[in-house]
Amino acid sequence: MKNVSSVVLLALATFSCQQVKVDNNHQQPTKQIKNIIMVVADGMGPAYTSAYRYYNDDPNTPTIEQTVFDRHLVGSASTYPAPISGYITDSAAAATALATGVKTYNDAIGVDVNKKPVETVLEWAKLQGKKTGIVVTSQIIHATPASYLAHNESRRNYNAIADSYIDNGVKADVYLGGGWKYFIRKDRNLVDEFKANGFHYVDDYNSLNTIPENTPVFGLFGKKGLPWALDDKDSNRLSTMTKAALPLLENDNGYFMLIEASQIDWGGHGRDIAAAMAEVDDLAKTLEYLESYVVKNPNTLVVVTADHSTGGLSIGRKTAKLDKSIRSSYLWQPQILRTMKNSPESIAKKLTNELLTIEQASELLNFKLTEPELTLLKAAKLKGKEIIKQFNLLSKAEKKGKWAPAKHDALLTAIKKIIDVRTNTGWGSISDSGTHTGIDVPVFAFGKQKQLFAGSIDNTDIAKNIFKLLGKK
């Protein structure tokens, strides 16, 4: 009898699980959401959010504190592009999938594999009478924002994409990010054209506090992307821009907003754990603010995911010699990351142009350098000079197709190596820079209808569900 009961209970449980799965895949939204905030954490695979949990941990408590990512994890998403590009996506194909629900080739901006424009959730929201906006830490014509706002066969057609923001109709009410280089050019001043379209222009974070009410805003705060969070005068600039943008978007019809933590990806490409953790922290502060915002505005949905993971980040290694006070031979030690006040890149540039001493380097890194580490840096500084010398000896033909080395590159590599060894951080990549990987990425959501994004889904499902919430059949 006991065995029969167990079989019955198992059958009921199986049926129940199957029923939940069917409902999750086919349910229709019971009520339209007024506001949708889509957050793309560029390059932020699962290792980044795990690393952030330990980076954010208070070492004075016995528990490891939960992060905003832990609170809102609902599932994961596959990221592969159209078959023509293989299994590993770039940011353009992934962003197009997230924006349109259509798989495409790497480099494609808002177009399908036949290079035909595909409608984005932002464009559809605008047609429904909602306000729209983008807030990013890259240039605003970079792959992710462009895939929501433009249609182009290549992400590298930067000026053409910038031009399309005016020529193909102004599609957003708020633009905040970087990109002076592409909007203030000798051949065309697009900032003036946005002003002529009624936009209030700002180029300093402090000016975000003085924007007139009910006025669209166009804000650029960097030549290309914004400075690293570690170097910017506002280390929480994504949060600052988000807080400024939300009141500008609020209206009776609601809004669709894209937020991108763009430079997590750049940290991964650079194999720079210090810069990457600061970028994730900027995103976490933004999400914590959005938590409180949703409480006050319960008709708002926030969906967060990555377009892909970058760099093959791994945290921890087996240590050959361990401290006897630590009962583990597997360690990841983020202590020095919590105290860094400058990016490795800015430190490398400064040490390249100044006398390299253990005192100077230790002050910039904000941890005490050892003599062997100083020796490594000095050797790298000399190597950097030699690399520049040899490059300059090449003929014009020999230089063609080669990247001109920066004089701080070798020193930057050495600084990141010291940080990796001290923290036990690893990077997996065949290429010299951190590559994209094909692993599934986490999905987070909070607010009404968050369950639509739960479970194991594809990146295109995110756009498809947002379209449904916006009333598209």
Instruction: Supply the residues annotated as catalytic.
Output: 91
Non-local (6+) Cβ contacts of 25 within 8 A are none
Non-local (6+) Cβ contacts of 60 within 8 A are none
> Is the separation of the CB atoms in 211 and 176 below 8 Å?
no
What six digits make up the tokens of 140?
A: 């605003």
What six digits make up the tokens of 438?
A: 């094909």
Amino acid identity, residue 102?
V
CA distances from 26 to 93, 221, 357, 464 (A): 26, 43, 64, 12
Question: Cα–Cα distance between 128 and 290 in angstroms, integer?
Answer: 24
Question: Cα–Cα distance between 338 and 236 in angstroms, integer?
Answer: 15
Question: Cα–Cα distance between 434 and 411 in angstroms, integer?
Answer: 18
> Is the separation of the CB atoms in 382 and 389 below 8 Å?
no
Residue with tokens 């947002």: 466
Question: Cα–Cα distance between 281 and 311 in angstroms, integer?
Answer: 18
Give me the DSSP letters along 274-291. Answer: HHHHHHHHHHHHHHHHHH
Residue with tokens 């180029």: 203
Element (H, E) at 352: helix 344-353
What six digits make up the tokens of 366?
A: 């904000």
> Is the separation of the CB atoms in 273 and 150 below 8 Å?
no
Phi, psi (5° rounding) for residue 374?
Answer: -65, -40
On the 0-12 / 13-18 / 19+ scale of CB atoms within 10 A, 392 is exposed
> Is the separation of the CB atoms in 242 and 116 below 8 Å?
no
Question: Cα–Cα distance between 436 and 268 in angstroms, integer?
Answer: 9
Phi, psi (5° rounding) for residue 26?
Answer: -120, -5
Question: Cα–Cα distance between 262 and 40 in angstroms, integer?
Answer: 8
Question: Cα–Cα distance between 248 and 212 in angstroms, integer?
Answer: 9
Question: Cα–Cα distance between 115 and 84 in angstroms, integer?
Answer: 13
